[in-house]
Structure 1
Amino acid sequence: MAAKQINPLTKTALEIGPIIVFFAAYLLLKDRVFTIAGTEYEGFILVTAGFIPLMLACTGILWKLTGHLSPMQIVTAVLIVVFGGLSVWLNDERFFKMKPTLIYLLFGCALGIGLLRGESWLRKVMEGLMPLQDEGWMILTRRVCALFFALAVLNEIIWRTMSTETWVYFKTFGLTAAIFAFFMTQNGLFKEYALEKDDAA
């Protein structure tokens, strides 16, 4: 079933809103330590605990409004619950920091499997946004696959070698900027392999 169209601002708010709230809450609580049931929790852990239900609520609202969730949204929600929950339960921020690595590895591997089968699984997700010739989709899929693996490696380097605050800035702004910059650099490919309106129809 095709997704229902909703206001783009509403969609953006539901997708990006929880991340912005996480960032703002972290800045507010990053230097504080909370004692709950005799256990001390740093602000990062408390913010993570609040982020999980907020993200699930926004994902649920998005599903209610559109009647559809992409595989990426579903997998992301599951990993947030699992690794965010482990961070809170074990009082260990490392699990939550690993989450982006696993997300990018999973989708990089998924695209790679499709490529080995001679298919562009990226096309199934994005075809409505930018109609391309078959060759264009294969080229773009190879590049996006490489991007996901590169981002997975970069996330590992950042969280393992730098401070939590640096990682939060990277997670909030760096990853988004990297993906945006990547697609901006693909403009030549989009022009070369774009389908004419008649062909797309």
Structure 2
Amino acid sequence: MPYKDIAAFRRSYRSKDGSFAHQRSHNLVRDYKQLQSYREELGRASLPKTLENYQKIVYNKSDKENLDHYIEARRRGSVSAVASFSDWQETDTRLKAAFIGQTAQNGVKVTSVGKHFVDRVIGTIYQKRSGVSFKNLQEVIANGKFAEVKIDKKGRKSQRIYIDELCDITINPETGELIQCNPNSK
């Protein structure tokens, strides 16, 4: 290599400090080790196939937050091991497209979808919790009955919307965030 050290190589490789190319080259080894560690822990199929795709996620703030949540959810067992990170992202995108802007039966306009809600839609075998279908979610949002508003110890409000034979959805009546959902047995 014509460069005296790795720093000279990196300087020639990247454009500007702080750019994606700079971060990618500067953290290449660390990112590779982290990806390998996650693959050993969670399985190869659960994570991005290439280091380049992993770095695109890591250096995008919202994608990184989603990846961190997915990894923690897998560790806790609240997301099924058969659901990859790309499956989780697709479910998140699909939920946001389907529900944000809709008005629930209780008159609350849905403004956001919580990460825990996405986990609950996917479900998990580990915690013996089935996922919930989009069809059932749409039916409950449009036609469900609603319970009284509850306030938790931290002062957060929530309200349950449900159809007994389909599912329950919990929504924050002040912010419009979908918090969680649970399937109901028939």
TM-score bucket (shorter structure): under 0.3
**Structure with more strand by fraction:** 2
Larger relative contact order, structure 1 or 2 (CA cutoff 8 Å, min sep 6):
1
When the two structures are superposed, what TM-score results if normalisation uses the length of structure 2?
Answer: 0.25
TM-score of the aligned structures, taking structure 1 as reference length:
0.24
